[in-house]
């Protein structure tokens, strides 16, 4: 059986290899993945990337049509889908962003964004958040603060400086909304001064936080970060790998804050996973540095014609099916329902979402906010998370449970009824733990 072959001859990311029992996906359609005739609602869009849902004919056809013309040429050649996608990204990204360098995924897109920021400014340091994830390659995992990088801690990319997050539910400065003086922004400014603005190339933040717990920025955080960046002559890089392409109810999460970054990093929803693609879009000011000298970046699969065609197909779906507006609308419905769930479940400490990127945070006790599952728990400490996943799977739902966060990020095509059905399944699974 090919599932046995998968287990015997392939390695699973981020997992202890023994004892795993993956869903063996035979086919998928819309918001469902199937193991033969057993169906699972995909409540995480796989890795928060299959935004348009599975097996969409528009994208399938865009790929097939391109395949019959040319699948791949080296990145020194021009192709129609590459040019059209570059132009389209200029139209949908904010501000003065114009030229795109295409990569193969989010991690290498972030690596290239960091290299461009360093080259353009002639400065080395990059400021990022502790509770963030920017990919698993050497530079990207160093840039993130997620504990997935701990095995490599002795050999991180030099020059990354981490700051605390504006985690309002667990404010690192002990503030409550009524007493908050934006200590998070003051903290960032102190770090800039300590590190020396003359050494800092860029501040790299997710457009909106994702796998580190959907920690929502206060409404004026990104604008204040951009203000500080301008004051100290530092570039801003928005990592929209997870939060972009409608996931947060706008083309890009940063649109919710009216901020225009100097560099934007994209992947995941750009092609909804149909073909891997990453992108780094920069302003003309940055691009012009390479008008008269070679751009020192490159990879064999940069600007892959099939990936660009898939992305164009995807963008067509976002537009034709009004998925960006739909995500914003469903986001409000989701928010209302999550608040109700929080009131009725003693174990739900907080719930947060922007559009269809959200999570539930479980606690032992609402008053003390003690984590139900400790942050960065492993092995036996993950028993409750494992029980939750098993219970969801038994009820026909797949999503991610990381420590005490249950993620809610279904494809943007989900109906309101299906969204409620999925949340009811989650509610039942939490109730089981509560009992
Ligand atoms: C914000 C963010 N940046 C970068 C990445 C890395 O993308 P990839 O896995 O395509 O390398 C991720 C992946 O989850 C992400 O969430």
Are 263 and 370 within one domain?
A: no
226 and 277 share one domain: yes
Q: Give the number of other CB atoms < 10 A from CB of residue 251.
A: 21
357 occurs within a structural domain: yes
22 by Cβ neighbours in 10 Å (0-12 / 13-18 / 19+) ranks as exposed
Count of Cβ atoms closer than 10 Å to residue 68 Cβ: 7
Inside any domain, residue 7? no
Q: Is 105 in the pocket of ligand 1 (CB under 6 A)?
A: yes
Q: Is the CB of 262 under 6 A from ligand 1?
A: no
Per-residue confidence at 156, pLDDT binned at 50, 70, 90? confident
400 lines ligand 1 (CB under 6 A): no
Cβ atoms of 102 and 217 closer than 8 Å:
no
Is residue 86 lining ligand 1, measured as CB closer than 6 Å?
A: no
253 & 402 share domain:
no
Position 233 pLDDT exceeds 80:
yes
Distance between Cα 107 and ligand 1 center (Å) = 6
Residue 50 domain-assigned (yes or no): no
Cα–Cα nearest to 397, from 41, 53, 46, 34: 41
Question: Which of 419, 379, 383, 380 is closest to 399 using CA atoms?
Answer: 419
- For the cut 90, the answer to whether the pLDDT of residue 377 exceeds it is no
Residue 281 β-bridge partners:
100, 264
Residue 265 Cα to ligand 1 midpoint, Å, equals 10
Residues 152 and 285 in one domain: yes
Residues 110 and 218 in one domain: yes
Atom index in ligand 1 nearest the CA of residue 211 equals 16
356 within some domain: yes
Overall number of domains in the chain: 2
Tell me the pLDDT band of 380, cut-offs 50, 70 and 90: confident
Instruction: Give the residue, out of 103, 134, 146, with the most ligand 1 atoms within 8 A of its beta carbon, to mutate for a pocket test.
Output: 134
Least confident of 337-351, 355-369, 372-386, 400-414: 372-386
Tokens of 187: 């903290």
CA pair distance 109, 114, nearest whole angstrom: 9
CATH of the domain at 216: 3.40.640.10
Q: Are 328 and 357 in contact (CB under 8 A)?
A: no
Quote the ligand 1 centre to 212 CA distance (angstroms). Answer: 11
Q: Report in angstroms the alpha-carbon separations of 68 from 15, 51, 55, 84.
A: 38, 26, 19, 18
410/43 Cα distance (integer angstroms): 4
Residue 216 falls inside a structural domain: yes
Domain boundary among 260, 294, 320: 320
In DSSP notation, 389-432 reads HHHHHHTTEE--EETTEEEE---TT--HHHHHHHHHHHHHHHHH
Cα of 243 to ligand 1 centre, how many Å? 10
The verdict on residue 155 lying in a domain is yes
Is there a contact between 348 and 342 (Cβ–Cβ < 8 Å)? yes
How many A from CA of 365 to the centre of ligand 1?
A: 32
- Cα(146)–Cα(142) distance, integer angstroms: 9
Distance in angstroms (rounded) separating the CA atoms of residues 323 and 182: 34
Q: For position 428, which CATH number holds?
A: 3.90.1150.10
Residue 243 CA: nearest ligand 1 atom is: 1
The closest alpha carbon to 376, from 167, 44, 130, 47, belongs to 130
Evaluate whether residue 11 is within a structural domain: no
Same domain, 283 and 414: no
Ligand 1 centroid to Cα of residue 399, in Å, is 17
Question: Can you tell me which residue has the tokens 């540095």?
Answer: 289
137 lies in the same domain as 252:
yes
- The structure's pTM equals 0.98
- Shared domain for 367 and 396, answered yes or no, is yes
Rounded Cα distance between 240 and 248, Å, is 10
In terms of domains, do 343 and 296 share one? Answer: no
- Residue 362: inside a domain: yes
Q: Is the pLDDT of residue 94 over 80?
A: yes
Which ligand 1 atom minimizes the distance to the CA of 278? Answer: 10
Nearest ligand 1 atom to the CA of 207 is 1
Q: How open is the CA angle 184-230-297, to the nearest 5 degrees?
A: 100
Closest residue by CA, ligand 1 atom 16: 242
Whether the Cβ atoms of residue 99 and residue 179 lie closer than 8 Å to each other? no
Element (H, E) at 223: helix 221-231
176-229: per-residue pLDDT in tens?
999 999 999 999 999 999 999 999 999 999 999 999 999 999 999 999 999 999
DSSP string, 98-149: EEEEEESSHHHHHHHHHHHHHHHHS--EEEEESS----SSHHHHHHS-SGGG
Residues 234, 286: one domain?
yes
Average pLDDT over residues 38-65: 98
Please give the distance, rounded to the nearest whole angstrom, from the Cα atom of residue 210 to the centre of ligand 1: 9
- Per the CB < 8 A criterion, the answer to whether 76 and 102 are in contact is no
Whether the predicted pLDDT of 1 surpasses 80 = no
Ranges of beta strands (E only) in 70-149 are 97-103, 125-129
pLDDT tier for residue 382 given thresholds of 50, 70 and 90:
confident
If asked whether residues 379 and 312 sit together in one domain, one would say no
Instruction: Tell me the average pLDDT of the chain.
Output: 96
Q: What confidence tens digit (pLDDT) does each residue in 252-287 have?
A: 999 999 999 999 999 999 999 999 999 999 999 999
Cα–Cα distance measured from residue 178 to residue 176, given in angstroms and rounded to the nearest whole number: 5
Atom of ligand 1 nearest to the CA of 132: 1
Residue whose CA lies nearest to ligand 1 atom number 3: 134
Is the Cβ–Cβ distance between 59 and 317 less than 8 Å? yes
**Residues 331 and 316 both lie in one domain:** no
Mean pLDDT across the stretch 349-356?
98
84 φ, ψ (degrees, to nearest 5): -65, -40
For residue 217, give the DSSP letter.
P
CA of 267 to the centre of ligand 1 (A): 7
Q: What is the mean pLDDT of residues 125-149?
A: 95
Q: Please give the angle made by the CA atoms of 164, 166 and 167, to the nearest 5 degrees.
A: 100
pLDDT of 299-312, one tens digit each? 999 999 999 999 99
Last residue of a domain, one of 276, 295, 320: 320
254 Cα to the center of ligand 1, angstroms: 16
- State the pLDDT at residue 273: 98
CA gap 90, 315 in Å, rounded: 13
Q: Could you identify the residue written with the tokens 């992947």?
A: 267
Q: 3-state SS of 307-325?
A: HHHHHHHHHHHHHHCCHHH
- The CB density around residue 353, as the number of other CB atoms within 10 Å, is 24
Where among 320, 349, 376 does a domain terminate? 320
Strand order in the sheet with 401-402: 348-354, 357-362, 405-408, 401-402
| Domain region containing 428 | 325-434
Nearest residue CA, atom 13 of ligand 1?
A: 135
């Amino acid at each position: 059986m090919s599932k046995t072959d998968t287990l015997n001859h392939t390695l699973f990311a981020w997992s202890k290899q023994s004892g795993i029992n993956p869903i063996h996906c035979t086919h998928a359609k819309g918001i469902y993945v199937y193991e033969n005739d057993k169906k699972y609602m995909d409540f995480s869009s796989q890795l928060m990337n299959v935004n348009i849902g599975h097996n969409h004919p528009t994208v399938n056809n865009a790929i097939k049509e391109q395949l019959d013309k040319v699948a791949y040429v080296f990145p020194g050649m021009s192709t129609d889908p590459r040019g059209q996608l570059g132009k389209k990204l200029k139209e949908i990204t904010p501000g003065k962003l114009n030229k795109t360098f295409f990569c193969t995924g989010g991690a290498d897109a972030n690596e290239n964004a960091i290299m461009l920021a360093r080259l353009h400014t002639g400065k080395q340091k990059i400021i990022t958040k502790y509770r963030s994830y920017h990919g698993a390659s050497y530079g990207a995992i160093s840039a993130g603060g997620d504990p997935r990088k701990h095995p490599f801690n002795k050999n991180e990319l030099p020059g990354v400086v981490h700051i605390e997050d504006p985690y309002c539910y667990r404010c690192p400065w002990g503030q409550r909304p009524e007493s908050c003086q934006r200590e998070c922004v003051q903290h960032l400014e102190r770090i800039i001064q300590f590190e020396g603005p003359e050494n800092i190339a860029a501040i790299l933040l997710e457009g909106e936080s994702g796998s580190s717990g959907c920690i929502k920025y206060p409404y004026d955080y990104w604008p204040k970060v951009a203000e500080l960046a301008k004051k100290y002559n530092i570039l801003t890089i928005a990592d929209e790998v997870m939060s972009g392409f409608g996931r947060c109810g706008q083309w890009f999460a940063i649109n919710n804050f009216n901020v225009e970054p100097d560099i934007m990093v994209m992947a995941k929803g750009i092609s909804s996973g149909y073909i891997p693609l990453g992108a780094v879009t920069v302003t003309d000011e940055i691009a012009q540095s390479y008008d008269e000298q070679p751009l020192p970046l490159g990879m064999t699969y940069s600007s892959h014609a099939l990936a660009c065609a898939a992305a164009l197909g995807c963008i067509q779906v976002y537009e034709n099916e009004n998925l960006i507006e739909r995500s914003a609308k469903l986001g409000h419905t989701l928010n209302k329902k999550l608040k109700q769930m929080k009131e009725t479940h003693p174990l739900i400490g907080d719930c947060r979402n922007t559009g269809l990127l959200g999570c539930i945070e479980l606690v032992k006790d609402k008053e003390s906010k003690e984590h139900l599952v400790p942050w960065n728990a492993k092995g036996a400490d993950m028993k409750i998370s494992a029980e939750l996943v098993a219970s969801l799977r038994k009820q026909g739902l797949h999503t991610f449970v990381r420590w005490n966060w249950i993620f809610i990020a279904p494809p943007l095509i989900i109906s309101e009824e299906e969204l409620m059905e999925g949340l009811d399944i989650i509610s039942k699974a939490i109730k089981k733990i509560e009992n």
